[in-house]
A and B are shown apart, each in its own frame.
Chain A
Amino acid sequence: MKAIKLRKWGLILLAMVFNTVAAGVNPEVVAIYPKANELPENTLKFQIEFNVPMREGNFLQHIQLQSIDGVSLSGVFFDNAYELWSNDHRQITILVDPGRVKTGLSENLKRGRAFIAGREYTLSILTSWRSLRGEPLQKIYTKTFTAIPEDLESPKVSLIKTSLLKPGSTDLLSITFPEPLDEQQIQEYVRIVSVREHQPTQVVQGKFTIESFGKVLNFVPRIPWEANQIYSLRIDTRLEDLASNNLQAKFDRPTTEKKGELHDQPFYYRTLNQETALGKGIKLNTVNIGEKI
């Protein structure tokens, strides 16, 4: 009886300690996306990831953008009354004023783009930002990047490179995109699927890791690749590059221009080739672009 009581009190004590520790976790910035150091001058969004839930409201007061000469730049980010937080309040999406990003809009005509190719900028996350538990960031977090010329093209799917699959192994599949893509969207929009006759497409379970600032995606399957199996890379065509051009269309497009080749396709499919005993790639039945499987 005593032992049970002691155990209970021990648990309560443990819970209290955990509670205190959880309450006392200092907020930190875990990552600032895009992670690339070179960003097109028409970059549309940044995402800031924290280790704990953070407070909503007046986000513009907690960030600062400076050019290399230390001049603070205002009017760059979109003052959105609807702050774009993830449901766990650990990540906020900050939009560069779309009116400045897109050519021909009044803000763009008046003030031009926020970033100018060749110049360096520093985005700072200030210590005034507090967690939901009231703790402020302990230090200023910064991201320095150089603006590069505008990106007005959709990512070209024909330039996506994939490594060969090695049947019987769980060897890594490496996918290289022609340019860094939105890391948050990659997580949701890219899958490896297996195609079986008379069966619906199956998503292959495994683990993805993103490298090279969203340019390389590696995948390790949970169970070995099968020799007599067709595998495909499947990409939701809403996947965007850093300037929000997606596989369907450019972000900045005059009305006169024709729609992109994947405009009406929800998915892009690419059949993955397997390695033969001789180490050469064997091309399996190819699935056409955008074909529904």
Chain B
Amino acid sequence: MMKTKVTQLSLAMLIAGVFGINAHAADNAIQSVNVLEFNDKNVLFVGDSKGGNIVAYETMTAKNPNKGMAYNLFDFSADIEKLLALKNGDYLIKDLAVHPESNEAYIALSVIEDGQYQPKIVIANQAGGVRLMDLSRKHTTLNVKHAPAESFMFYDKVNGRSLTFTDIEYHKGKLYISGLSNQDFKSSLRVADYPFTGKASFTSVEIYHAVHNQNETRAPIRTLSIANFNGEDHIIAAYTCTPLVTIPLSALKDGAHVTGKTIADLGYGNTPLDMISFTGQDMKQNQFPAILVTNKERQANVLPLEGIAAASAITTPSGFAPAGFTGYSAPLSGLSQVADQDGYHIAALRRNAESGKLELVSYMKNMFFRLSEFQSEYEMPNYSYDESQKAMKPLQEMMKKDEGY
């Protein structure tokens, strides 16, 4: 009897293999993981582009003795590959988020299994501990697909339309979801209540930006953040062709066509990666609210909110150079994913240029570089700090300790 069951199971598994059905998929609440976002109550929102869903998990806060410390994991690919029994290259990194309470890093992956991409979320801590998140655990789901007008099954093949979530931002009980379609080049922003209340809770907004003599570029939003300035909450959105646009939240009404105010062009030949709100600090210890925009091809931009609030709109072609209010640049580059880690750090995933290994590291906010990666005269055995450099010493000691030296 037992043998028969085993045989039947094997048969089912083999047939499943033939038809491309994955046994793991049935257990999972999600079909893909593209975007991760935490809210302040430890709820993890997962953008599942393939399923057209936003899935919300209430996460538990794991004990993390290294909370507050930097990530210095230089062979993170080996940790992932060992955990998932993978060969090199059989997975894609989709996003990074940091648990607001435990400071553990959540990494979204697409892993090749049985000829299909399967979603995984790996949780890592600063000590190098890694484990898999159970995606079948209790969750709530919001479907954000455009409901098809009607079923129509007489085409030769299934329509290939897909929607890729590009960013999710949680703000005061609402989710702001930007997406990109593979069929229409258009900008869309969806707004949904959380806890999810059902389909009626969406608003879908078309956003244009006034720049370069083109009012309606239909360019999709790449990454977004929400900040309060001029007495009002605003979306700050970075578009694929790097204009930076602000839109008051009050303008986002269902079905509305909204024109955003373009305050900057971060420069051609570049795509923004991510945007983080943080508290900036200058050399005189003055603190100020700011936005950090990390870019794929250019250095990162730090934009104090005060400057964003005061910026004039760009309405004429900006030529080739960055234009408008671009803040100041920070030496962050070569990163594939970034996330706000804690009050002092941002966490980042990057590839080592020489070994190709995936690294999970932290950068100190307001420094935006890792001291241990530079050779300087400070490190020479005979170097002595003169009066003008004395202030640097405690800072460098702090950075070295943070970076594990």
Contact = CB atoms under 8 A, between A and B. Distances in A.
Given A110-B320, A132-B116, A84 B182 contact: yes
Contacts of A2: none
A120 interface: no
Nearest to A239: B184
Nearest to A267: B149
B162 A85 contact: yes
Interface stretch (B76-84, B150-158, B168-176, B278-286): B150-158
Interface residues of A, number: 69
Nearest to A49: B160
Contacts of A102: 212, 214, 217
A249 B320 contact: no
A251 B212 contact: no
A177 to B, nearest CB: 17
Interface in A65-98: 75, 78-82, 84-93, 95, 98
A56 B155 CA distance: 26
Interface in B21-40: 31, 34
Contacts of A19: 14, 17-18
Given A98-B240, A105-B212, A84 B320 contact: no
A79 B271 contact: yes
B160 A106 contact: no
A12 interface: yes
Given A106-B265, A109-B319, A255-B214, A45 B185 contact: yes
Interface in B2-16: 7, 10-11, 14-15
A15 B117 contact: no
A98 B185 contact: yes
A206 B156 CA distance: 11
Interface stretch (A143-151, A184-192, A279-287): A184-192
B312 interface: no
Contacts of B158: 88
B166 A82 contact: yes
Contacts of A249: 216
A204 to B, nearest CB: 10
Given A22-B17, A56-B92, A98-B241, A184 B296 contact: no
A75 B17 CA distance: 40
A100 B218 CA distance: 14
Interface in B52-94: 92
B375 interface: no
Contacts of A49: 160
B372 interface: no
A155 to B, nearest CB: 15
A132 B112 contact: yes
A87 B152 contact: no
Contacts of B154: 205-208, 222
B143 interface: no
A106 B185 contact: no
A15 B14 contact: yes
A82 B164 contact: yes
A111 B318 CA distance: 15
Contact of B11 (A11, A79, A90, A254): A11
A16 B13 CA distance: 10
Contacts of A188: 159, 161, 183
Given A98-B185, A106-B317, A91 B213 contact: no
Contacts of A270: none
Given A106-B318, A203-B152, A255 B215 contact: yes
Interface in A97-117: 98-99, 102, 104-107, 109-110
A188 B14 CA distance: 35
Contact of A105 (B117, B215, B241, B271): B241
Interface in B179-204: 180-186
A252 interface: yes
B115 to A, nearest CB: 5
A47, A92, A93, A252 — which one has the most chain B CB atoms within 10 A of its CB?
A: A93
Interface of A: 8, 11-12, 15-16, 18-19, 22-23, 44-45, 47, 49, 52-53, 55-57, 75, 78-82, 84-93, 95, 98-99, 102, 104-107, 109-110, 131-133, 182, 184-185, 187-188, 191, 203, 205-208, 222, 238, 240, 244, 246, 249, 251-255
**Closest 3 interchain pairs by CB?**
A86-B160, A15-B14, A255-B215
12 contacts: A12-B10, A15-B17, A16-B14, A85-B182, A86-B161, A88-B158, A104-B213, A104-B317, A106-B317, A206-B154, A249-B216, A255-B210
